[in-house]
């Protein structure tokens, strides 16, 4: 079955060979979808025929958002903690343990329903690829079940047993690292693609983070790192040294950190929802882009530091507060996320790519930042199937 989406006012391909600039922009365009894939992209006037036809009525079409950083397997919420922060209390990540307790107490069905709710909520807002971490179980059984549940919803699953030291190991952090790199890894590796660690004061230091990431890599898991979120530290340098796909947060960076990212394939994934919801200073995207680093934008959706599934919201904040142009932010939320997940089949609308498409109720992708907070989703196709 083939589908012609025609009369596209403005098409973001993220493929410079198909249009102008880094976004590969094309006006008066059309896209042909065959099965799960993009078959053709070009001017509407020269589009081939297809079984079905969809009139985009001059609106903007772009690749579905790639949210490369989310923590969706959890129970409960932390409204009280958010309220306290908005009255001046600082974010410490200590609330992670509140969510750990609620998550351990939840049934498999409750956790699965929560993941489905957030993936669906994200899809309605144009997110067609979402990464999902464990990290609110912190026992062998609870981490493995989190990943089993996540894997039913996305192939981009990340083992984050090293989120914080489990409460049972408060007096024995080394023992917890042994568990994370031993029995817990054995139970989780079959369900995960990635391994992640929260490298931060109060969580795991550089040596512990290295142990977690190298143990994961030995089991075939690819590294990514929660790095330099709350303070300066070794996370970014470690991520680059180990060839991690992504260093996430990147809020406190030295010039050496920026240079290391710029000289590497490690994507700097920025998560403005976290700074928004913790009332912290935003990361400096401009500094990273000017240095030549690849930047991704993601939601970090979790009940503590960033309870949003909206990539459009993150993109608007990045434009307003982090020095990004709307074009750069749209690129970071699509192609950037794909790079952070080492995916070449999503985040782009070139022939052969996955037919993940977001049609906006707007004439241009710029409206995502220009019209903040406005639901602009007109339609979404995932793997060629109309989903919204």
Give least dist CB 305 to ligand NIG, A. Answer: 4
User: CB-wise, 229 or 294, nearer to ligand NIG?
Assistant: 229
User: CB-wise, 78 or 367, nearer to ligand NIG?
Assistant: 78
Measured CA angle at 219 (ends 264, 235), to 5 deg: 35
Q: What is the rounded distance in angstroms from the CA atom of residue 27 to the CA atom of residue 41?
A: 11
The DSSP secondary structure of 254-272, one letter per residue, reads -HHHHHHHHTSS-EEEE-H
Tell me if 78 is assigned to a ligand binding site: yes
Give least dist CB 276 to Fe ion, A. Answer: 14
Residue 42 contact among ligand NIG, Fe ion, none, beta carbon within 5 to 8 Å by kind:
none
Quick check: 33 and 24 in contact, CB under 8 A?
no
Tell me if 69 is assigned to a ligand binding site: yes
Q: What is the rounded distance in angstroms from the CA atom of residue 388 to the CA atom of residue 375?
A: 13
Give least dist CB 120 to ligand NIG, A. Answer: 21
Backbone phi, psi, residue 133, to 5°: -100, 155
**8 has which bridge partners?**
29
Tell me if 71 is assigned to a ligand binding site: yes
Tell me if 136 is assigned to a ligand binding site: yes
Number of H helices and E strands in the chain, helices first, is 15, 18
Q: What is the rounded distance in angstroms from the CA atom of residue 317 to the CA atom of residue 308?
A: 13
3-class secondary-structure state, position 273:
helix
Question: Interface residues with ligand NIG (CB under 6 A)?
Answer: 93, 95-96, 99, 198, 226, 229, 274, 300, 302-306
Which is nearest to 269 in space by CA: 288, 256, 243? 288
Residue 333 contact among ligand NIG, Fe ion, none, beta carbon within 5 to 8 Å by kind:
none
Number of residues that bind Fe ion (CB under 5 A): 1
Residue 24 contact among ligand NIG, Fe ion, none, beta carbon within 5 to 8 Å by kind:
none
Give least dist CB 182 to ligand NIG, A. Answer: 22
3-class secondary-structure state, position 45:
helix
Radius of gyration of the chain measured on its C-alpha atoms: 20
Residue 337 contact among ligand NIG, Fe ion, none, beta carbon within 5 to 8 Å by kind:
none
Share of the chain residues as helix, strand and coil, in percent rounded to the nearest 5:
40, 25, 40
Q: What is the rounded distance in angstroms from the CA atom of residue 353 to the CA atom of residue 327?
A: 21
Using the rule CB under 5 A, is 300 a contact of Fe ion?
A: yes
User: CB-wise, 181 or 302, nearer to ligand NIG?
Assistant: 302
Backbone phi, psi, residue 319, to 5°: -70, -45
User: CB-wise, 56 or 271, nearer to Fe ion?
Assistant: 271
User: CB-wise, 169 or 370, nearer to ligand NIG?
Assistant: 169
Using the rule CB under 5 A, is 156 a contact of Fe ion?
A: no
Quick check: 171 and 117 in contact, CB under 8 A?
no
User: CB-wise, 257 or 300, nearer to Fe ion?
Assistant: 300
User: CB-wise, 201 or 386, nearer to ligand NIG?
Assistant: 201
3-class secondary-structure state, position 128:
strand
Residue 93 contact among ligand NIG, Fe ion, none, beta carbon within 5 to 8 Å by kind:
ligand NIG
Tell me if 191 is assigned to a ligand binding site: no
Residue 343 contact among ligand NIG, Fe ion, none, beta carbon within 5 to 8 Å by kind:
none
User: CB-wise, 59 or 85, nearer to ligand NIG?
Assistant: 85
Give least dist CB 302 to Fe ion, A. Answer: 6
Element (H, E) at 33: strand 25-34
Tell me if 226 is assigned to a ligand binding site: yes
The gap from C-alpha 127 to its chain's centroid, in whole angstroms, comes to 10
- What part of residues 301-340 is at the interface with Fe ion (CB under 5 A)? none
Tell me if 302 is assigned to a ligand binding site: yes
For 378, the token pair is: 């007109």
Q: What is the rounded distance in angstroms from the CA atom of residue 191 to the CA atom of residue 148?
A: 6
For 326, the token pair is: 């709307």
Binding site for Fe ion (CB under 5 A): 300
- Residues placed in the known binding site: 69, 71, 78, 136, 163, 226, 229, 300, 302, 304-305
- Residues placed in the known binding site for N-formimidoyl-L-glutamate: 136, 302, 304
- Residues placed in the known binding site for 4-imidazolone-5-propanoate: 78, 136, 163, 229, 305
């Amino acid at each position: 079955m083939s589908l012609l989406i025609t009369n596209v006012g403005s098409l973001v391909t993220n493929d410079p060979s198909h249009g102008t600039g880094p976004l590969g922009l094309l006006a008066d365009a059309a896209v042909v979808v065959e099965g799960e894939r993009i078959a053709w992209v070009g001017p509407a006037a020269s589009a081939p025929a297809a079984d079905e036809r969809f009139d985009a009525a001059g609106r903007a079409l772009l690749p579905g958002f790639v949210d490369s950083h989310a923590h969706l397997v959890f129970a409960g919420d932390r409204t009280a903690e958010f309220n306290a922060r908005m009255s001046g209390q600082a974010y410490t990540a200590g609330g992670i343990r509140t969510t750990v307790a609620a998550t351990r107490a939840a049934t498999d069905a409750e956790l699965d329903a929560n993941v489905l709710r957030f993936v669906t909520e994200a899809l309605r807002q144009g997110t067609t690829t979402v990464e999902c971490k464990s990290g609110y179980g912190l026992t062998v059984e609870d981490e493995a079940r989190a990943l089993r549940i996540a894997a039913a919803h996305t192939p981009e699953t990340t083992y984050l047993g090293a989120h914080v030291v489990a409460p049972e190991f408060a007096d024995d952090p080394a023992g917890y690292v042994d568990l994370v790199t031993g029995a817990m890894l054995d139970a989780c590796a079959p369900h995960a693609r990635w391994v992640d660690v929260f490298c931060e004061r109060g969580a795991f230091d550089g040596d512990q983070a290295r142990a977690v990431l190298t143990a994961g890599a030995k089991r075939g898991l690819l590294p990514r790192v929660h790095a330099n979120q709350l303070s300066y530290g070794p996370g970014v340098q470690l991520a680059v040294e180990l060839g991690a796909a992504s260093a996430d947060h990147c809020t406190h960076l030295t010039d050496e950190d920026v240079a290391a990212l710029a000289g590497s394939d490690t994507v700097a994934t920025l998560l403005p929802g976290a700074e928004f919801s913790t009332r912290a200073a935003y990361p400096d995207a401009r500094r990273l882009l000017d240095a030549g680093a690849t930047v991704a934008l993601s939601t970090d959706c979790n009940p503590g530091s960033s309870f949003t599934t909206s990539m459009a919201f993150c993109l608007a904040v990045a434009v307003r507060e982090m020095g990004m142009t709307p074009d750069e932010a749209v690129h970071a939320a699509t192609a950037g996320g794909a790079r952070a997940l080492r995916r070449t089949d999503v985040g782009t609308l070139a022939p052969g790519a996955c037919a993940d498409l977001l049609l906006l109720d707007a004439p241009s992708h710029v409206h995502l930042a220009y019209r903040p907070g406005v639901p602009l989703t007109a339609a979404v196709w995932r793997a060629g199937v109309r989903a919204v």
